[in-house]
Amino acid sequence: MSAGDRSLAVEPAFALSDLRPQGGERAILVDLDIGVPREADEREEFVLLACAAGAEVLGILGGTRSLPDSRYFIGAGKADELKTLVAATGAELAIFNHPLSPAQERNLERLLQCRVLDRAGLILDIFAQRARSFEGKLQVELAQLRHLSTRLVRGWTHLERQKGGIGLRGPGETQLETDRRLLAARMAVLERRLARIERQRAQGRRARVKAELPLVSLVGYTNAGKSTLFNRLTQAGVLEADQLFATLDPTVRRLELPGGRPALLADTVGFISQLPHELIAAFRATLEETRNAALLVHVIDAGAANRARQIADVERVLGELGSQQPRLEVFNKIDRLEDASPRLERDAEGRAVRVWISAHTGAGIELLQEALSEYVSGEQLIESFRLGVEEGRARAWLYRHARVIEERLLPEGGWELSCEIARSECGRFRAIRG
């Protein structure tokens, strides 16, 4: 740690006013239909999120609005109803299943005289509780500070400029400005530490490339069963729990496949709808494993009430990360369905695209291993690559890992190579080129 890091190692003292409502676990949940009605599973997921954070749910306030209210989000009448409910139940916290602006949070806290938390803040709190590794804790803290930096206005009276008086007049510095300065300094320290960790992670990726071990990443909605499947395939012994965000820290283990070459299997953090952008940014280094994988195994809860929405949410986050690798869909938890049986589905070209399994019972695992072996061992493709004159190493890599059918020089310089290459190697090559 540098001297600059040591000087900022102490947590910044964001001294929120004593007049502001203090924390607690007894909560009222607020979930309105804004514009379009919510699905039942979305409401259930919100309750599960609150419980995962440790909240004691005292009541749920619903309603319908065409548009959010600029002052209270839920409107003045509904806000008064919420105030009455908070007072009657003795709630210490109001949790909204919606994104709130800093001004809306401040106005609601003044009205309700209790803490107010939006969906992003709730998810950040869960991540803070579950992070175990050093890197995970740094990532969560950075995400929290980025979220807090937009909400310093909630600090109320202590953020106002100093009052005048004999010996007190002068420009001074507002508490708000002080807090922002401390926040920016702490975030800079965290970003430097995470950058060092990312450089170490990049070295590990380069070592895997040299060892010619393709990487397979498990991705999916939270609580889809990724960790259970990871343990079933690798006997890694990572935490398994029937709860949202049971595990956060990524794990990579060697994967032995029958009749095929070995690979590496990575278990990544689960996704969720309306995942805070602060978390996506902070966990970008961890989620880079999805961009460098030869194959993404999308684990799906086959019995989820709205699995189509969950699939779309996962694909949306993968799109934000720039992941374009081949996908293998794995429909998990078929033991909870009445008529489902293990099966392997292929497309018109005979390529494995979907596997139905139960990671809990082991049903269909051999079919999944067969599909993974096909991807890893090498379904052969005919691909054409255009390389610039500065990509000599990439050209040499293709000659080592593929069969070059034809090579021709380009008029502007560089080469165009037509190659027969394994699908997995094709994904690795694109990841190496970036």
Q: Would you state the pLDDT for residue 409?
A: 92
Give the pLDDT of residue 163.
47
Residue 25 CA to residue 57 CA, distance in Å, equals 8
Choose one of 117, 151, 177: the last residue of a domain. 117
> Is residue 220 marked as binding?
yes
**Which residues, at least 6 apart from 211, have a Cβ–Cβ distance to it below 8 Å?**
none
Check the annotation: does 222 bind a ligand. yes
Q: Is the pLDDT of residue 424 over 70?
A: no
pLDDT band at 279 (very low <50, low <70, confident <90, very high): low
Mean pLDDT of all residues in 257-269: 78
Within-domain flag for 11: no
Q: Which of 35-39, 89-93, 349-353, 377-381 has the lowest mean pLDDT?
A: 377-381
Cβ contact 93:115 at 8 Å: yes
Do 90 and 78 belong to one domain?
Answer: yes
Q: Could you list the residue range(s) of the whole structural domain that residue 390 is in?
A: 380-433
Which tops the pLDDT comparison, 368 or 136? 368
d(Cα 114, Cα 90) in Å, to the nearest integer? 10
Same domain, 358 and 388: no
**Contact of 57 with 102, CB cutoff 8 Å:** no
Higher-scoring residue by pLDDT: 401, 290: 401
Residue among 195, 201, 186 nearest 282 (CA): 195
221 among the known binding-site residues?
yes
Same domain, 321 and 385: no
Q: Is there a single domain that holds both residue 335 and residue 415?
A: no
User: Does the pLDDT of residue 168 top 60, yes or no?
Assistant: no
Q: In what order do the strands lie in the sheet with 343-346?
A: 251-255, 263-267, 215-220, 295-301, 327-332, 352-356, 343-346
Is residue 249 annotated as involved in ligand binding?
Answer: yes
Q: Is 361 annotated as a binding residue?
A: no
The response to whether 226 counts as a known ligand-binding position is yes
312 is in an annotated binding site: no
- Residue holding tokens 């291993």? 369
Q: Helices in 2-98 by DSSP H: which ranges?
A: 3-7, 40-52, 76-89
Same domain, yes or no: 371 and 222:
yes
For residues 420 and 406, what is the distance between their CA atoms, to the nearest angstrom? 10
Percent of the chain topping pLDDT 70:
77
306 located within any domain: yes
Residue 107 annotated in ligand binding: no
Could you tell me the CA-to-CA distances from 328 to 49, 92, 132, 342, 356 in Å, in that order? 28, 45, 29, 15, 11
**Gap between the Cα atoms of 171 and 162, Å rounded:** 9
Residue 162 has pLDDT above 70, yes or no: no
Of 20-24, 44-48, 297-301, 408-412, the poorest mean pLDDT is in 20-24
**CB neighbours (10 Å) of residue 199?**
10
Both 244 and 388 in one domain: the answer is no
Q: What is the mean pLDDT of residues 232-241?
A: 74
355 and 427 assigned to the same domain: no
> Which CATH number do you get for residue 245?
3.40.50.300
Determine whether the annotation assigns residue 231 to a binding site: no
Query: Do residues 396 and 385 touch, judged by C-beta distance below 8 A?
Result: no
Q: Is 223 in the same domain as 368?
A: yes
Q: Which residue has the higher pLDDT, 109 or 273?
A: 109
Looking at the fold, whether 423 and 347 belong to one and the same domain comes out as: no
Q: Which of 85, 117, 149 is the last residue of a domain?
A: 117
125 has pLDDT over 90: no
266 in a labelled binding site: no
Q: Is 269 annotated as a binding residue?
A: yes
What angle, rounded to 10 degrees, do the helices at 76-89 and 102-112 form? 50
Would you say residue 78 lies in a domain?
yes
Mean pLDDT of the chain: 79
What is the mean pLDDT of the segment spanning 244-272?
76
387 and 361 in a single domain? The answer is: no
Residue 161: per-residue pLDDT:
47
Residue 95 lies in a domain: yes
Q: Do residues 232 and 366 share a domain?
A: yes
Considering the domain boundaries, does residue 259 fall inside one? yes
pLDDT confidence of residue 240 = 59
Query: 163 a known binding residue?
Result: no
Residue 285, domain member (yes or no):
yes
Backbone angles phi and psi of 398, in degrees to 5 = -65, -40
332 is in an annotated binding site: yes
User: Is residue 18 scored above 50 in pLDDT?
Assistant: no
CA distance readout (Å), 357 to 84, 200, 332, 378: 49, 35, 5, 23
What is the total count of domains within the chain? 3
Q: Is 224 annotated as a binding residue?
A: yes
Q: Are residues 361 and 404 in the same domain?
A: no
Cα distances from 411 to residues 136, 309, 342, 398, 416, in angstroms, run: 49, 48, 53, 21, 10
330, 346, 377 - which closes a domain: 377
128 appears as a binding residue in the annotation: no
In a domain, 68, yes or no: yes
pLDDT > 70? residue 164:
no
CATH code for the domain of 112: 3.40.50.11060
Within-domain flag for 204: no
Is residue 248 a known part of a binding site? yes
